[in-house]
Chain A
């Protein structure tokens, strides 16, 4: 296949990838969009085989490896529980990152295969592109591994900070740039390897200071990085499909990070520099005074909701941990039988990744037109009889609107306190991730339900 023809086909697969993302603008078109994506990938792979035109024994190995990888991927895709989606995505990001590193290494070792010149005299631009691709890929890889370990609970979700952390990161970041400069000057492979090793280190150091509930930002950011790494490799290989895809993925991840930061009213740098919730002086100062709390049981909750005209459900990460989404759906079904109008309110940063709660509710067969975003539903709380908060905390805290001293001041929150009564399922009165007390617990119209989210919901179903 001629180079021009294959370039045109790569363009086609780039366009199909754009259509795949475009399809996600509504659930109806999304499935079709996914097929566009698959078609784009198939075209890119077939065209590559035809243009390499090497159907010897190597080709057979490639097919076998493709099949092995495909089976592993398919197995994971079918077996993974929906609650584990954040760590799956983090794991997948690490693979893209590592693949980018491997391709860059290969291009460095055998540049003539990619038309980049010869060993020791690789074209300058290609050298910069491949080392950038390798560096970003390596950061994506090790960063995603740390994110994966934190999300999986293998590593503690609390931020790991030490003195001079940011200075070290800065020095390491600058040293990568200096090394790339010298690599361009003398093409030494030792410099190339050092760039990769330092980048692995930067990835680890970048993610360890970021706490568990900031993971939505981290995952989106790593998503973005994996895109930029792919684009870097795309420039090296002069491949349009890779360049287009890299740009799409890069900007997609960046937009998601932005949305997540806005959902917490924090700047991107504030999140990346990390350590939020490590300062606990605010919670300490309030710990001593005992404030009255009303608590109730499942029967009280069932009674309240059964007699309500409308109920809004506010799910959070706790629902995912307790795997309570199915029990919740049963509860809602029972309420609907009693003629109660039920809707769901999702805060942008609820859960551990963008859209986490929506997927879990979809898994439990909740129709997506009953699920609303913050802006869509926030005015409805005032006209609502009962709010059922399950596994959410900071995103309902009215302090964010009233107390300029609070670290979460200014963060958009769900106005749950405006409803006639609030049912708050929680195991204890302990503060949420931000380390601050939730004012909502002590309100007159709040009834605390101290129990595991799933158990409590199941008990309510029984009493309904």
Chain B
């Protein structure tokens, strides 16, 4: 019997939870705020779904309801991607070692 591809995706998902678990525990507590802002930025990779939704269907009929929801999701995700990465960058820039 063939294995359902869903099982493969589930495997990736569960293994990624484990990776996340170990990687996040090794994050230094002083960087917990940048951790939140960067996870925020990367979770906006949901823009992938938004782009597919926006460009779905006929080239001529791109203003159907489903496309419009896609367009709206693109704006939201884009705010998050740029905002999230840039604010993280701005914060990380501030962490400096003692000048010797």
Contact = CB atoms under 8 A, between A and B. Distances in A.
Interface of A: 10, 13-14, 17-18, 20-22, 24-27, 30-31, 33-34, 37-38, 40-41, 44-45, 48-49, 52, 54, 56-59, 61-62, 65-74, 76-78, 80, 82, 85, 88-89, 92-93, 95-96, 98-100, 102-103, 105-107, 109-110, 113-114, 125, 219-220, 223, 226-227, 230-231, 233-253, 255-256, 259, 346, 348, 353-356, 358-359, 362-363, 365, 367-371, 373
Interface residues of B, number: 83
A137 B87 CA distance: 23
Given A248-B19, A367-B99, 5 more contacts: A107-B53, A125-B6, A230-B45, A243-B9, A259-B29
A26 B29 CA distance: 10
13 contacts: A25-B26, A37-B41, A65-B74, A92-B79, A96-B40, A113-B52, A223-B40, A240-B9, A247-B17, A250-B20, A253-B36, A354-B36, A373-B29
Contacts of A371: 30
A355 B44 contact: no
A348 B78 CA distance: 32
A17 B19 CA distance: 11
Contacts of B75: 65, 68-69, 72
Interface string B19-48: 111011111111111111111111111111
Contact of A256 (B36, B51, B86): B36
B23 A93 contact: no
Interface of B: 5-6, 9, 12-14, 16-17, 19-21, 23-57, 59, 62, 64-67, 69-99
A106 B54 CA distance: 9
Contacts of A80: 87
Given A68-B78, A102-B73, A31 B92 contact: yes
A103 B48 CA distance: 9
Nearest to A363: B94
B17 A41 contact: no
A61 B28 contact: no
Contact of B79 (A30, A54, A69, A110): A69
B72 A21 contact: no
